[in-house]
Amino acid sequence: MTDDLLELQDVVVRYGGIEAVRGISFNVADGELVTLIGGNGAGKTTTLTTISGIKRPSGGTISFAGERIDNLPAHEVVELGVCQAPEGRRIFPRMSVRENLVMGAFARGSAKQADVDRVFDLFPVLKERQKQAGGTLSGGEQQMLAIGRALMSEPKLLMLDEPSMGLAPKFVEKIFELLGDIHSQGTTILLVEQNAHLALQIADRGYVLESGEIVLEDDAKKLLGNDQVRKAYLGES
Amino acid sequence: MSERQRELQRSYRERLQRMRAQRSSARGKLREVIAKDAEPITSRWRALRAWLDEHSKVSYPGLSILLIAVIAFLPLLGEVVDLPSELDQATSGSVLARVMLFSLFALGLNVVVGFAGLLDLGYVAFWLMGSYTAAILTGAQDYSEKIQQGASFTEVQEPVWQMWMWLILAIALGVAIVTGIALGSPTLRLRGDYLAIVTLGFGEILRITANNLTSVTGGPRGVRSIPHPEIRVGDAELVWGTLLDTKYYWLLLALVILWIIAIRKLDDSRIGRAWVAIREDEVAAAAMGVPVVRMKLAAFAIGACTAGVGGVIYAEQVNFINPPTFSLIQSILILSMVVLGGMGSIAGSIVGAAALVIIPDALLREQDEYRFFLFGFVLVVIMIFRPQGLVPSKRRKAELVGGGQAEILDPAHARSS
């Protein structure tokens, strides 16, 4: 198990008395695209924010590249190379697109033009709008900006929290296509999604989360064919 | 469909089109009017700057030196030309020294409130720490206590300035920073209103402590005879004194200039960017690797040390301090200066301080009882008609007037002026 980039073991997260995550364990190997799927309140976002160090686990261990990160402050986790595009995009609405991207490189020190250009290559529409305030972009463009911003930190592990949320189907497909590209260029990705169908199509492996526990784990293709998953998440009977 | 029905439909469509056309033209006109109303100040100003860039041979550093020279000359204006009594009062050394003192405070609080977006209602606490540090370390508190106990003026020596006392400035700066961090570490995890209330309480706690801790601070009787500073190099000497407010004005002006340079540098730096990010979206900032609590603490500490330094100079200038000097209303006053001038704007802090010192002290001397009424009234009016402040920072203006002005947010222009 030495090639595991990220490993969670029996992680428990509480909000006051409520256990949102009840002892989950999973791992992401270097170069993989792993997806966590599950419905509302399954604990997906909580898991991500806990890995980021924004929320503290009340039990279990999280390690990244063999080192424990569950007791590190959030900014040190980012410096290690774990970056997330948070739920609801959360771009900086009154900074320009370019400033948003530059903020993404905060943990590394300063951003170079080349880094910004790389993101612009990936998302040409951002280049067109680079001087525009982030808040004036459409939802899909904001999601691209959020992903681009996370990429600016040159993460070893990119975590995405529901990139399809609130987007038109056309945009969702576009985003997922780009995620596939980013992954094939060598970035390890942990993708949290409600849209199980799309997520499983681009992922290598998947975990199904329900009420804070992992109920299923398998290759993405097998999960796509799994009856339980089809019933619960793909809307088929 | 009958002929009649078709007729009706057509006429209805025409009417609808007419209405739409009318409405859109009205909306267009309205937009024009609004644009005209919103544009002039900024566009005229931009045009002026462009014109200056093109036609003047003076560079911006040259201009700022000229500006500083003019400002430094202000207190001497009354000796050169005859001024009406109000203006004479407004340019007197004592009023101008107060303007500079409060400019310094406003600059410091602006870092906390304007840059980092933390509402601090107990800012006076750091001023108090600075002033009392000076009072105790110069020996003035000890002297005051002995006099109080009935020692005759011949028995005990009135404290005098010694060279090493410049150190006090540095010590007070340190004390204020430590106080700021001590207050900040447990409270900066709070947000918005909660932070405001805790800081407000902190300011009051320090004032009441100063009042009750008689053995250290002298309690309600206060501290007197805090010595004036001096600089002696060989035979050359520069002495500050009781009726030498103009000299204090220059001393404070020098500090203000120093602070402006430092704060501009900070605002342009990585720390400045982190503050903007925290103000915009704290969670996103944390996700980008901004050490949120540490950056807030930095803002708090910078604000605190500014007030600490100002507090030392204040204590030395007025010679006498007691706890009521540091009441809540001072915190509110400084906050009003920052808000009036424009949160996040360095020039705004100074304009705000100048306005709120000069207007009541020089122009409304006769209407003393109405001071706070007018004060509140002016603030309300400003908040309704110019919420971004008198000299807004470009970014803050975009935040308050509504985002979307891409050109304003172009990073090349986005530093607060």
- Chain A within 8 Å of B253 (Cβ-Cβ)? no
Determine which of A33-47, A197-211, A223-237, B82-96 has the lowest per-residue pLDDT on average. Answer: A223-237
The pLDDT value given to residue B142 = 84
- Chain A within 8 Å of B231 (Cβ-Cβ)? no
- A211/A184 Cα distance (integer angstroms): 32
* A92 to chain B, closest Cα gap in Å: 6
The pLDDT value given to residue B48 = 73
- A67/A2 Cα distance (integer angstroms): 11
Contact B289 A75 (CB under 8 A): yes
Strand order from edge to edge, sheet including A67-68: A18-29, A4-15, A59-64, A67-68
pLDDT, mean of residues A90-114: 89
Determine which of A7-21, A117-131, B239-253, B369-383 has the lowest per-residue pLDDT on average. Answer: B369-383
Residue with token string 């060989």: B234
pLDDT tens digit sequence for B126-135 = 999 999 999 9
Contact B409 A84 (CB under 8 A): no
Q: Which chain B residues are Cβ-neighbours of A54 within 8 angstroms?
A: 283, 286-287
Please tell me whether residue A2 adopts helix, strand or coil conformation.
coil
CATH number at residue A49: 3.40.50.300
* B249 to chain A, closest Cα gap in Å: 39
Q: Which chain B residues are Cβ-neighbours of A83 within 8 angstroms?
A: 287-289
- Chain A within 8 Å of B116 (Cβ-Cβ)? no
The pLDDT value given to residue B406 = 37
Q: Which chain A residues are Cβ-neighbours of B268 within 8 angstroms?
A: none
The pLDDT value given to residue A9 = 94
pLDDT tens digit sequence for B79-129 = 788 878 778 878 888 899 999 999 999 999 999 999 999 999 999 999 999
The pLDDT value given to residue B231 = 79
pLDDT string in tens for chain B (417-residue length): 677 888 888 888 888 788 777 777 766 666 665 555 444 455 666 777 777 666 666 566 777 888 888 888 888 887 788 878 778 878 888 899 999 999 999 999 999 999 999 999 999 999 999 999 999 998 888 888 888 888 777 777 778 777 667 788 899 999 999 999 999 888 888 777 888 999 999 999 999 999 999 888 888 989 988 888 887 777 777 778 777 788 899 999 999 999 999 999 998 889 999 999 999 888 899 989 999 999 999 999 999 999 999 999 999 999 899 999 999 999 999 999 999 998 889 999 999 999 989 888 777 777 677 777 877 888 888 888 888 888 888 766 666 555 444 333 434 434 443
Q: Is A134 a domain residue? A: no
* Closest alpha carbon within chain A to B411: A99
The pLDDT value given to residue A82 = 94
Q: Is A235 a domain residue? A: yes
Helix axes B245-268, B93-110, angle to 10 degrees: 20
Q: Are B170 and B88 in contact (CB under 8 A)?
A: no
Contact A54 B290 (CB under 8 A): no
DSSP string over B261-322: HHHHHHHHSHHHHHHHHHHH-HHHHHHTT--HHHHHHHHHHHHHHHHHHHHHHHHHHHS-B-
User: Which residue range forms the structural domain that includes residue A199?
Assistant: 1-72+194-237
Q: What angle do CA A162, A168, A172 make, to 5 degrees?
A: 50
* Closest alpha carbon within chain A to B415: A95
**Binding-site residues on chain A for chain B (CB distance < 8 A):** 52, 54, 73-75, 77-79, 83-84, 86, 90-96, 98-99, 102-104, 106-107, 109-110, 131-133, 135-136, 149, 153
Contact A86 B398 (CB under 8 A): no
Contact A96 B411 (CB under 8 A): yes
Residues facing B103 on adjacent strands: none
Residue B63 has a CB neighbour count (10 Å cut-off) of 12
Determine which of A85-94, A187-196, B149-158, B344-353 has the lowest per-residue pLDDT on average. Answer: B149-158
Q: Which chain A residues are Cβ-neighbours of B403 within 8 angstroms?
A: 93-94, 133, 135-136
- Label residue A229 by pLDDT band (50, 70, 90): confident
- Label residue A156 by pLDDT band (50, 70, 90): very high
Contact B286 A131 (CB under 8 A): no
How many separate domains does chain A show? 1
- Chain A within 8 Å of B281 (Cβ-Cβ)? yes
Q: Are A93 and A133 in contact (CB under 8 A)?
A: yes
Q: Is A155 a domain residue? A: no
**Beta carbon pairs, A and B, within 8 Å:** 102
Percent of chain A with pLDDT over 90: 63
- Chain A within 8 Å of B280 (Cβ-Cβ)? yes
Q: What is the pTM of this model?
A: 0.81
* A177 to chain B, closest Cα gap in Å: 24
The pLDDT value given to residue B325 = 92
Contact A52 B287 (CB under 8 A): yes
- A213/A24 Cα distance (integer angstroms): 6
Domain boundaries, chain B: 101-329
Q: Which chain B residues are Cβ-neighbours of A48 within 8 angstroms?
A: none
pLDDT, mean of residues A181-186: 90
